[in-house]
Every structure is written in C-alpha cells, then in structure tokens.
A and B are shown apart, each in its own frame.
Chain A
Amino acid sequence: MTNSKPQNLPVTHEKARKTVKAPLNQYLIVFVLSLGALMIFLPFLWMIFTSFKTPTEAYAWPPVWLPKEWNLKNFQQLFDTIPFLKMFVNSVWTSVAIASLNILTAAPAAYAFARLRFPGNDLFFSSHLLSMIVPWQVTLIPTFLMVKQFGWYDSYAALIIPSISNAFTVFLLFQFFRNLPKSLEESILVDGGTWFTALWHIGIPASRGAIAAAWLFAFLGNWQNFLWPLIVLQSQDKMVLPVGLLSLQNQFSVNVPVLMAGATLASLPTIIAYLFVQRYLTDSAITSGIKG
C-alpha cells in the first residue's frame, strides 16, 4: 500500500522484519472495521428503539430514530399476549438439558472411537458419520411420525429425546481425543492400572476445555433451534422462545413495536451471557495456545 518498497536493494533482515510487522495503517484498519461493527450494532439499537415506539412512529417516513416517549407499554402488551417468561424459562432449561445429555453420551463415545481398539469400531463410527452427511429434510418426517407414535406429541419428551444424540458433538470431541498423545494412558496401564482408571485420571481431566466448548455449541444449537419445536409443540405454555416469537409475528404483524419488544427481551440476555462466555473462551484459547 503506502509502504516504500526496497526492491532490488540489499535489505538487512532486521529492516525487513520491521516493515512486515506493520504492513497496513492501523488507523485505517480500525476505521474500516468500525464501520463494519456499526453495521452489526445499528440493527440491534434500532430493535431496542423500536420496542419503545408507537406503531405510527415505527412506520414514519423519514424514519424517526428515537421514540418521543420512553414507556413500557409495548412490553406490557407483550406479557399480556404470550407467556413470554415461561417461554424463556422453557428455552433455557430444555437447551441446558439437551446440551448436557448430549455431552454425557457423546464424550464417552468420542473417547472410545478415538482411543480404544475394539471390534466394530469403524462400523459404529460410520453410523454416526452417516447421520451427519444426510440432511435434516430426510429424517424430519419419519422422526416426527415416531415421536407421534410414542405419544410424545406436544410434550417436552418430543423436544428433548430425539435431540440428545448429536453426531457433530461426537465428531468434534473425536478430533480432540485423537490428537492427545497415546502415551497418556499407557503410562497408567504400564503401572498396573486398568482402562477404567486411565479414563478417570487421564481422559476426563484432559478434555475439560474441549467438553466445555462442545457443550456451548450444543447449547447454542438448541437455543436457536426453531423448526423441530415448531413441528412437535402445540400448546403455548410449552413453547420455546423462537417459536413463541414466530407466533407473536402472526398476532402483531401490524404492531411492530410489540414484536420488537419480544425480540429485544429474547436477544439481550443471550448477548450479555455471550460477552461473559466470550471472555472465558478467549482466555482458554490463549492458555491452550501457550501450552501447545
């Protein structure tokens, strides 16, 4: 860019190193990235502002940025229309349950597939891979019918049980376990320990960070999930947030501020939680970077 190019001139290694480190103007980078960040923040701000507006203000042209009056009328109307709090709690506990059960079944399986020798290893592992390759449209109808046959329609069982086994989590943790040095368990086995003690003392402690990350991904996946609850849940008090918001859309398509009140209340807790987790994730990434 603006760098002077010392072409054809004998350059010392030191000099080259200096220019490599600052190839782009820092202020320019920050400026461009901030424009992009504004594109991320502006919609969220717009959502919050709109949740306080009157319908007339929400559809005014040219648009008004801030509402004339900041009152909680839209939020009041939201709570009067749908059991928002109940839906929020449903979303949290079912996502926590699915993610935890998912890890409890996936982590042991991933450990066995990655580190243990047993007849049928490849066969069982490929059955997991198969479920990853085939898109969800294929399994949707049969799974829905099964859930109905089991009498689970419109119950939490329908929401939770089919979602517990997730081959992606198995695969993610498989990759992690495979990269651990083989000598870890051998040291215990040579000392006369059993495979069970090896698992307890080596496998589980070594994988804490990876398991936390996999749990977060599983939680987020279910927190976002919208199609499956849309199909298997019917009663409003069992619904989870994504579906609840969608039902709000049908009722308030003309009253956008109430809709945005719902979107705001559904998004803010996640954003705040994410900011905390992000910090922890970054820290653990840095620590593992130093170790590696």
Chain B
Amino acid sequence: MLIQPTRKPKEKLSNLRQQEALLAYLLILPSTIGILVFAVFPILASMGISMTSWGGLTQPSLENFRSQFNGIENYQTALSDDRVVRSIQHTLTYVLLSVPIGIAVSLAIATLIHNLKAGWLRTFFRTTYYLPMVTIGVAVALLWQLLLNPQGLINLMLSWFGIKGPAWLASPEWVLPAIALFSVWQGSGTSVILFLTALSNVRKELYEAAQLDGATGWNAFLKITLPMISPTIFLVMVLSLISSIQVFDAVLVMTNGGPGDSSTTIAVYIYKTAFQYFKYGYSAALAWILAIFLIVLTLIQWRVQRQWVNYDQQ
C-alpha cells in the first residue's frame, strides 16, 4: 500500500476530531439524560401545569390538561391575591434584614481573620465560623427555636443589659427579625470563606503604595480593600439575595409560617399551596412568578454592577 506522506497528518487529525467528539458525547450522556429528565422536562411541564386549574385529584394526562386549561387565569389571580401580596412583604422584610447585616458581619469577620498573624488562629476562627453550615439545618433551627423562646438564652443575655426581650417567634413583629438573626448566625461562614479568599488575593504592593501616600487603617480599607474585593462583594450579594428570597427551611421548622401568617414567605406559601391546599396549578404559577422575578433581578444586578464593581485587579 502506498501512503502519501502529505495526507497522513491530516487524516490523523480528522480521526482525532472524530474521536474527540465521540468521547465527548459518551462523557456528557449520563449527566445530560439526568438534566433533561429531572430538570428540563419538569420546567416545561410546570409551565403547562401553571396554566391549569389542576388540583391533583385527577391523573396528569393530556386530556385532563385540555379540560382544566385556564390560560393566564392563575397569574391574574396571583396579582390580586391578598395572601401573595402579604407573603411578598414578609419576604422583602426578611431580605432587607438578613442580607445587609449578613454581608457586613461576614466582611468584618473576614477582615479581622485576614489581619491575624498566627496561622493556627486564622484556621481556628475560619473553622469555627463555618461550623453552623455543616450541622444539619433542621437541628440548629430546632435549637434556635429553644434559644428564641421568651424565656430562652437570647432573652437571658439581653436581660444582662437590662433589656426585656420580646417573644421573638411568637410575636408577629419580631418573628422575621428573629429568623433573620438565625440565618446570619447560620450562614455567614460561607461568605466569610469567600471574602477571605478575595482578601488574600489583594496585592500587598497596593497597601505599601498607599502607606507612602499616608493612607492607613480605615482609609486604606475604604480606598483599596473595598474596591479590590468588589467582585466578591457582588458575588456574595447576588448569592445571598437569591437564597434569602427563597428562604424556606428555617421558616418551616421554626414557625411553620406563623404566628398567623406573619412569617409566611413566598417560598413557604408556594409550598403550602401545593402540598397542603393541593392547588397544583396555582402553586406552579406562583413558582413561575418567583422564577421570573429572580431572573430579572439577577439580570438587573449584572447591569448595575458595572458602575461599582472593579474587575481590573489582575
């Protein structure tokens, strides 16, 4: 057999290309099947369900879908549903309490840890602050239910300062601040780790240069540290906004949405609509309203970030 020397590398190349594609399809197959079946299909199905009056009593079939189809009626109902409006108010109150405090606290903790000289102390505190994140959420929520008891540890500590603490979880005004307090305690560890990584990536020369210009301590923090870690501040903000808007576990365990409905957030209301009131169609519509809100919010944040996030540290 005669082999032309110029053709061989090319042939080998296209052979490798085919091999590469074949390998790729094999590698992505299991994950892609799972995503299609348990994510993409349910997403499409829930769009359909959200346009029906389905209550879960009949079988999910195309025929039933047609007979119970009601277009955008669920979405219209949602906009005038008093309980939806209230659950959105509760959610926003919780978000406005937990997100800014959570970011401020974790940034302060991270800055302090970063300024520690002893390595073992840095490890010790980082490990400590992350601890609540690894324990089972339900267990610590039950624990905080006890701490926030009118006669619990929190009110004992307040009484040392002469403050008579409220009834926290049993009080309609204090229940959301109480859950926000718990979530700051539980969730700050993740942000602390993210901030620590960002802080250690700020170049030391910048501080030295600032020092020459007379900027120290607080000034250096404002003028150098904050702008340099702004991408991480943005990331933490996006992540904690998304997760706190969807707050669910803590509420369900600690108050089940009560007292009355004063801690029923939107995620709790969506859950109850489906699994306690069995209004599948309406619940799916509410879920889609939440989803669209979250996606739009994230897009807006990406637009606005250009004005304050600084990406030229590399």
A contact residues vs B (CB 8 Å cutoff): 1, 3, 5-8, 11, 13, 16-17, 19-24, 26, 29-30, 32-33, 36-37, 39-44, 46-47, 50, 58-63, 104-106, 108-109, 111-113, 116-119, 121, 124, 127-128, 130-131, 133-143, 145-146, 149, 161-162, 164-165, 167, 170, 189, 194-196, 199, 220, 223-224, 226-227, 231, 241-243, 245-246, 249, 256, 259-260, 262-263, 266-267, 270-271, 274-275, 278, 282
Contacts and interface: CB of A to CB of B under 8 A. Distances in A.
Given A37-B128, A243-B138, A260-B142, 20 more contacts: A1-B217, A3-B217, A19-B216, A20-B211, A24-B112, A26-B116, A33-B112, A47-B143, A112-B27, A116-B20, A116-B27, A118-B25, A138-B284, A146-B42, A149-B60, A164-B34, A266-B136, A267-B135, A270-B135, A274-B127
B145 to A, nearest CB: 8
B278 to A, nearest CB: 10
B291 A22 contact: no
A231 to B, nearest CB: 7
Interface string B169-194: 00000000000000001000000000
B23 A116 contact: yes
Contact of B23 (A32, A113, A131, A196): A196
Given A63-B156, A242-B138, A41 B128 contact: yes
B136 A274 contact: no
A223 B135 CA distance: 9
B38 interface: yes
Contact of A128 (B31, B142, B153): B31
B248 interface: yes
A6 to B, nearest CB: 8
A227 B156 contact: no
A63 B153 contact: yes
For B42, B109, B133, B185, which residue has the most chain A Cβ atoms within 10 angstroms?
B42
A130 B253 CA distance: 30
Nearest to A8: B214
Nearest to A259: B142
Nearest to B60: A145
A142 B49 contact: yes
For B35, B152, B271, which residue has the most chain A Cβ atoms within 10 angstroms?
B35
Interface of B: 16-17, 19-21, 23-28, 30-43, 45-46, 49, 60, 109, 112-113, 115-118, 121, 123, 125, 127-140, 142-144, 146-147, 149, 151-153, 156, 159, 185, 204, 207-208, 211-212, 214, 216-218, 220, 242, 246, 248-249, 252-253, 267, 270-271, 274-275, 280, 283-284, 286-288, 290-291, 294-295, 298
B46 A142 contact: yes
B116 A245 contact: no
A17 B42 contact: no
A245 B142 contact: yes
A109 B27 CA distance: 5
Given A26-B116, A131-B43, A140-B274, A278 B143 contact: no
A188 to B, nearest CB: 11
A227 B60 CA distance: 23
Contact of A116 (B24, B40, B248): B24
B152 A130 contact: no
For B60, B142, B159, which residue has the most chain A Cβ atoms within 10 angstroms?
B142
A245 B211 CA distance: 54
B23 A199 contact: yes
Given A50-B146, A245-B142, A259-B142, A20 B46 contact: no
| Across the A-B interface, the 9 shortest Cβ-Cβ residue pairs | A165-B34, A131-B39, A109-B31, A142-B42, A108-B27, A137-B287, A142-B45, A118-B21, A139-B42
B284 A141 contact: yes
Contact of B287 (A16, A50, A63, A138): A138
Contact of A19 (B16, B118, B211): B211
12 contacts: A5-B216, A23-B220, A104-B30, A108-B31, A127-B35, A128-B32, A137-B246, A138-B290, A139-B43, A165-B33, A224-B136, A266-B135
Contact of B28 (A113, A117, A242): A113
A46 B60 contact: no
B127 A278 contact: yes
Given A16-B208, A46-B147, A282 B134 contact: no
B301 to A, nearest CB: 13
B121 A30 contact: yes
Given A118-B25, A196-B23, A263-B142, A39 B216 contact: no
A56 B39 CA distance: 49
Contacts of A62: 156, 159
Contact of A24 (B115, B211, B242, B253): B115
Contacts of A161: 38
A58 B42 CA distance: 46
Given A131-B39, A231-B275, A40 B138 contact: no
Contacts of A11: 211-212
Contacts of B216: 3, 5, 19, 23
Contacts of B125: 33, 36-37
Nearest to B54: A141
Contact of A143 (B31, B38, B118, B128): B38
A195 B19 contact: yes
